[in-house]
Amino acid sequence: MIDQIVPTVAFKTQTRKAIFSIFLFTLVYSLLLLLAVALTALCIYGGVMLVITVPRIVTIALGAGLASLGILILVFLLKFIFKSHKVDRSHLLEITAKDEPELFAMIEDIVKEVGTQFPKKVYLSSEVNASVFYNSSFWSMFFPVRKNLHIGLGLVNSVTQEELKAVLAHEFGHFSQKTMKVGSFVYSVNHVIFNLLYDNDGYDEVVRKWSSISNYIALFAVLAVRIMDGIKWVLGKMYGVVNKSYMALSREMEFHADEIAAHVTGYPPLATALLRFQLADNSMGNVLSFYEERINSNQKSENIFKEQHYVMHFIASDNQIPIQNDFPAVSVDELNRFNKSKLVIKDQWASHPSTEERIQRLEQTQIIMENGPKQSANQLFRDIEKTQKQITEQMFNRVPFAEIPSTVSLPIFQQEYQNSFTQNTFSKVYNAYYDNKNPIKFDTSMIALAPAHLKVSELYSDDKVQLVYSHLALINDMDSLNMITDKTYGIKTFDYDGKKHNRKDAPELVAALHQELMALEQQIADNDRNIYTYFKQLENTKGGAPKLEQLYSDLFGLDATFETKFELYTKMQQKLQFLSVVTPHEEIQSNFRHLTSLERELKKELQAFLEDPKLASEITEPIRENIEKYLSKEWAYFGKQSYFDDNLAVLMQALSNYSFLLGRSYFVVKKALLDYQVSLLQ
């Protein structure tokens, strides 16, 4: 049945384009290589003749330098042949059929149905992902390489057995004979060009050491580097051509592998797994962030997968996502709940289609099979909890704890996660109205109280929330259209609201959208004033001490200064960019002198944060220690010949703390206002 799958017209088209890009690269590279060989021969001949003609120490150095000019360029063009791309396996745990017979039996079934080879080795990790990988080199384009299978326990923890089978069938579908031949070749060519363009650390060190031998040799080494810069420019253009064709083919290969998976399990299992991936990945990310904040407290997890499962259900409950077979059943509507963009740009550099596109293509197969096992994929393992704890321990062993860490129990994690969630989110009363917006500024003293006909359910209705997200989508669409106009996006056509447009249409479309944006802003501003009116009347009815107007005034005051305060951060980041490039000593010292006035301003703002009672709960002991250390004296960052790395680390940490506390200061004031409004409702 798999053999009967016919590649689509788009798949064949992209395959032809990929083959052409390979041919074009081969032609250009061969020409560069021939020129390099000719140049090397001439340089060696010239160097030898120079030494023979005028046998002196100076001419020997010049001859060696001239000969090395061609050799360096030739080695640069051939070094990728000896470079092997090895996958880091330090975070992986290898398992065998003896360890997990049920899992290996499933893999065996998939391999037979897809018609491909059994993987060389099978590994587990913590990731919410599955993949097939291998160590590649130039020679792997010509000789077959056995592939390894990687399965993330974060994925296993988030799917049923039939969903896992569908995901693995998709991965093996990539390596079926029809799917992978051209794709793997283009992939290897991409690695060759990438190696020539960017993977040059070892080669650059060789050039540096060679040029340090003599000023005469250094002269030719510099010339070789200039020629190589020209070669890199040519190869950079080729990288764009080859990579773009590879990405287009890769997207078609994803569709093709999805179709293979549909023939193995039917399309629904893969569709439901794809829809849940983002939630599962976000849940794991939340767990890891939770423990990242506790590194200084020397705390670790016993089993991050139990916690991932809890967070996944917690988020599903908070967003009213139904549970089926003990897993959240995420819908396409839920995935796009707040995406109101009407602009469609085909991302030429995306390796995967969007989830919506994949679901749509899967549904077109109309392949539905008998219901597979709906139990958790965890049950395929002999002792899943033991394996989960082993992977968890392996993860935390790589964390540089100051002392032996303590383990956080699951009940404690659940309680602390809930507390953190409550502290960092707004009441459900607001229906996500404020999640991505702030109240639009107005003069509270000029708002006349209207008759009490407003209702909170109307002020935060789905219609009002859609105004907010339509407004955000318009801003993003206009930014994208401006980038299309100035050719930042290298595209000629795009779709907007279901209609096809050319690049020249973008400015006119932006002008039309600007009018729509102004109308939306007016509607949102009117609603924000009505919200203030509603809660002010409610406050008056309660008869307590008036706080609402002051809370709005505090927020609007922060609004007025936030951009200026954040600009201090961006200015300092820009001024410090010279740290990442080779800079003359005099210029380094001058740059730090120009930083002095900004540092004075930074210290003033940090001191204000330390003294702000509203931020008392936000400033942890490590943050306070870092800031107080930075404020304690004037720091020197450069000596006569080198940077003072420890002092620079103090500065960078202070900048990071400033950015964090600036954002938190706004959030704290905004949450105080919104929590007070909720208290009025109670």
Tell me what percent of the residues of the chain surpass a pLDDT of 70: 93
Where are any strands of DSSP class E within 225-374? 299-301, 323-324, 327-328, 343-344
Integer Cα distance of 453 and 264 in angstroms = 59
Verify that 520 and 557 share a domain, yes or no.
no
Q: Which amino acid is at 384?
A: I
Verify that 495 and 564 share a domain, yes or no.
no
Query: Using one digit for the tens of pLDDT, what is the confidence trace for 463-491?
Result: 999 999 999 999 999 999 998 888 877 77
User: Where does 148-214 have alpha helices with state H?
Assistant: 153-156, 161-173, 177-197, 201-211
Residue 593 forms part of a structural domain: yes
Q: Mean pLDDT throughout 14-34? A: 86
- Backbone angles phi and psi of 69, in degrees to 5: -55, -50
Q: Last residue of a domain, which of 539, 557, 573?
A: 539
Verify that 532 and 597 share a domain, yes or no.
no
Verify that 492 and 558 share a domain, yes or no.
no
Query: Using one digit for the tens of pLDDT, what is the confidence trace for 526-560?
Result: 999 999 999 998 998 888 788 999 999 999 999 98
pLDDT at 29 over 70: yes
Surface-to-core class of residue 476, CB atoms within 10 Å of its CB (0-12 exposed, 13-18 middle, 19+ buried)? middle
pLDDT (0 to 100) of residue 184: 65
Integer Cα distance of 126 and 391 in angstroms = 6
Q: Give 176's pLDDT tier (boundaries 50, 70, 90).
A: low
Verify that 568 and 635 share a domain, yes or no.
yes
pLDDT at 449 over 70: no
pLDDT (0 to 100) of residue 212: 74
State the Rg of the chain over Cα.
Answer: 31
Question: What are residue 84's DSSP bridge partners?
Answer: 137
Q: Which secondary-structure segment (H or E) carries 538?
A: helix 506-542
Residue 671 forms part of a structural domain: yes
- Backbone angles phi and psi of 487, in degrees to 5: 70, 20
Q: How many CB atoms lie within 10 A of CB 200?
A: 16
Q: Mean pLDDT throughout 636-660? A: 92
Q: Give 252's pLDDT tier (boundaries 50, 70, 90).
A: confident
pLDDT at 181 over 70: no
pLDDT at 456 over 80: yes
pLDDT at 632 over 90: yes
Residue labelled with tokens 């967070």: 311
Residue 152 is classified by DSSP as E
Tokens of 37: 């060989």
Residue 78 forms part of a structural domain: no
CA dihedral 632, 636, 642, 643 (to 10 degrees): 50
Longest dimension (CA), the chain: 105
pLDDT (0 to 100) of residue 3: 63
Query: Using one digit for the tens of pLDDT, what is the confidence trace for 565-621?
Result: 999 999 999 999 988 766 778 888 999 999 999 999 999 999 999 999 999 989 988
Q: Last residue of a domain, which of 508, 539, 570?
A: 539
The rounded mean pLDDT for the chain is 88
Q: Give 135's pLDDT tier (boundaries 50, 70, 90).
A: low
pLDDT (0 to 100) of residue 511: 93
Residue 621 forms part of a structural domain: yes
Residue 319 forms part of a structural domain: no
- Backbone angles phi and psi of 272, in degrees to 5: -65, -35
Q: Give 189's pLDDT tier (boundaries 50, 70, 90).
A: confident
pLDDT (0 to 100) of residue 85: 60
Verify that 560 and 508 share a domain, yes or no.
no
Tokens of 323: 């549970």
Query: Using one digit for the tens of pLDDT, what is the confidence trace for 417-442?
Result: 999 999 999 999 999 999 999 999 99
Q: Last residue of a domain, which of 515, 539, 563?
A: 539
pLDDT (0 to 100) of residue 266: 94
Residue 371 forms part of a structural domain: no
Domain count, the chain: 2
Nearest in space to 190 (alpha carbons), one of 228, 136, 226, 262: 136
Residue 219 forms part of a structural domain: no
Verify that 571 and 654 share a domain, yes or no.
yes
Verify that 568 and 664 share a domain, yes or no.
yes
Nearest in space to 221 (alpha carbons), one of 229, 231, 232, 210: 210
Residue 165 forms part of a structural domain: no
Q: Mean pLDDT throughout 56-60? A: 85
Which has the higher per-residue pLDDT, 453 or 30? 30
Verify that 459 and 493 share a domain, yes or no.
yes
Query: Using one digit for the tens of pLDDT, what is the confidence trace for 194-243?
Result: 777 777 777 877 887 887 787 778 888 888 888 988 988 888 888 778 77
Q: What share of the chain is helix, strand, coil (3-state, %, to 5)?
A: 70, 5, 25
Per residue in 254-292, is it b (16+ CB within 10 Å) or e — as a string?
Answer: bbbbbbbbbbbbbbbbbbbbbbbbebbbebbebbbebbe
pLDDT at 82 over 70: no
Nearest in space to 270 (alpha carbons), one of 130, 390, 458, 60: 130
Integer Cα distance of 120 and 137 in angstroms = 17
Integer Cα distance of 631 and 662 in angstroms = 17
Query: Using one digit for the tens of pLDDT, what is the confidence trace for 304-341?
Result: 999 999 999 999 999 999 999 999 999 988 888 767 78
Q: Which secondary-structure segment (H or E) carries 39?
A: helix 9-53
Contacting residues for 75 by C-beta, under 8 A, at least 6 apart:
203
pLDDT (0 to 100) of residue 141: 55
Q: Which structural domain, as residue segments, surrounds residue 652?
A: 547-682
Q: Mean pLDDT throughout 500-505? A: 89
Q: Mean pLDDT throughout 513-535? A: 94
Verify that 594 and 567 share a domain, yes or no.
yes
User: Where does 548-613 have alpha helices with state H?
Assistant: 548-575, 585-594, 596-611
Which has the higher per-residue pLDDT, 624 or 251? 624
Verify that 496 and 567 share a domain, yes or no.
no
Verify that 494 and 511 share a domain, yes or no.
yes
Tell me what percent of the residues of the chain surpass a pLDDT of 90: 59
Q: Mean pLDDT throughout 255-260? A: 91
Q: pTM for the full model?
A: 0.82
Integer Cα distance of 297 and 622 in angstroms = 10
Of 102-111, 159-168, 177-186, 443-452, give the lowest mean pLDDT range: 177-186
